[in-house]
Structure 1
Amino acid sequence: MSTPRDLAAPVTGAAGRFLAGVGLFLRGLGLYVRSPGLMLLGVVPALISGALFVTAFATLVYFVDDLAALLTPFADGWSATWRSLVRVVAGLALLGLGGLLAVVAFTAVTLVIGDPFYEKISERVEERYGGTPNAVDVPLWASLRRSAADSVRLVGLSVLFGVPLFAAGFIPVVGQTVVPVLGAAVGGWLLAVELTGAPFSRRGKRLPDRRAALRADRPTALGFGTAVFVCFLIPLGAVLLMPAAVAGATLLTRRVLGQPTEAGP
């Protein structure tokens, strides 16, 4: 049976590299579970941010019927069956868009709130596998500014991609099958870019460098990010698994930059 370490081993082929990305997240989860200190460091800021976003998403769920009716005035004169069907589809599309934006925005806000905590988690993972080559000392305020600026850009991108996906959600069959998969892929990519911010910054690399490095091994980055995205959709998953995602993102950074992700002898 494959283990998370096996999944993260060097492989070729898009499917194998995608699974390797999933394996990096599972390895991050393993590091997290075996390190109670990491759990305590990472859960507190996630709890604060999680409370805000759970409340916001619950509000969306509560008003989704009214919002769906507001967005489909053209269906007011239709028969009850067709009107209800269109508004159910609109409601599902709204919830899908809300889920995408909530996961990306939650990650962005949590990384800003907990920047010192997640920086420490990432550093501990780096130390386990040989440290950070050519590390750059990044002052706390500079790190916070970088994290906030990058997060605003990525949330903006999630809106840019999310609106067309919301519109595509009205297409029969495709909107209920293909669109959710595309949404998970888009969300996964944005999370991979977002979560690797700290380890790339520690190496003196900025957002364009990060995107270029991840694009060079896109299937692995998508595998990691999609696994995180799906887990973050589980109730309390984002809060409890945020430190594991940070640990896995550090492994992803090391992998795409050609640095060791296995402990030495």
Structure 2
Amino acid sequence: MGELIRIVEVGARDGLQNESRPIDIKTKAHLINLLAMSGVRYIEAGSFVSPKAIPQMAGSDQVFSSFSRQSGVVYSALTPNMRGYDLALASGADEVAVFSAASEAFNQRNINCSIAESLARFEPLMGRAAADGMRVRGYISCVVGCPYEGLIEPQRVLEVGNSLLDMGCYEISLGDTIGIGTPARFDELLYLLTQTIPASKLAVHCHDTYGQALANIYASLGHGIRVVDSSVAGLGGCPYAKGATGNVATEDVVYMMHGLGYETGINIDKLIDAGNFISTALERDNSSRVANAILSKRATQ
């Protein structure tokens, strides 16, 4: 058996948060069930943020009570503050995630505070999580570039990453929020980070705006990265980053990993069924090239 790549499926949260049409609880819960049945073992199922800020994430507590939990699957939630953490805990989230950015301007637009202020807000949450035995994952947005500031220096990412790890995050997900990264930029970033942060504590979260996501993930493998965030059917965007298109499609990542000899534990045909379901429900095209190729092949058989 090949080495395991852990896929963090963010479609039900990051993927759906930017959709313009309403999505009912039943549809979200069924998507999560299909993902779990395909073999996905880490699913970001919702976000306990203000529904005024992100309307699509309203009712995340109902989502958590509606899907069928499968043994061995981690169901996580994004929590920006103590209120969000309390709601996630009450809803039965297995893990929570906090988020900051390597860009001051983006942080102000996204969560209305500076980087330092956002980190300070997380301190009581991290203390509670430690007392509750709740694992916390950290996100850093704009690790390569920002829609307001332009290119981001890797040193800034390192500083935020170390702060999140020092607080108690077990893993840091590096988000190329506007998808401008290239393999050379990821090499530069990861070369710096892995000088002091073990690769086992890092993940990559690549948007495919410029068609570079798979190449960037491939480059990351060379630095020891073995955790990849992705979104079924390539769903997603960012409400605070104009023009940012979807996350890299989980189907495309899984196909590449299997082709490279890695294991994911995911049945790609069942995964494609999950992506096809949500694409149909949203009345939008499936953004996964692998899914479209295999669905076309199915149609001719």
| Normalised-by-shorter TM-score class | under 0.3
Structure 1-normalised TM-score?
0.26
Which of the pair has more CA radius of gyration? Answer: 1
Q: Which has the higher strand share?
A: 2
Q: Which has the higher contact order (CA 8 A, sep 6+)?
A: 1
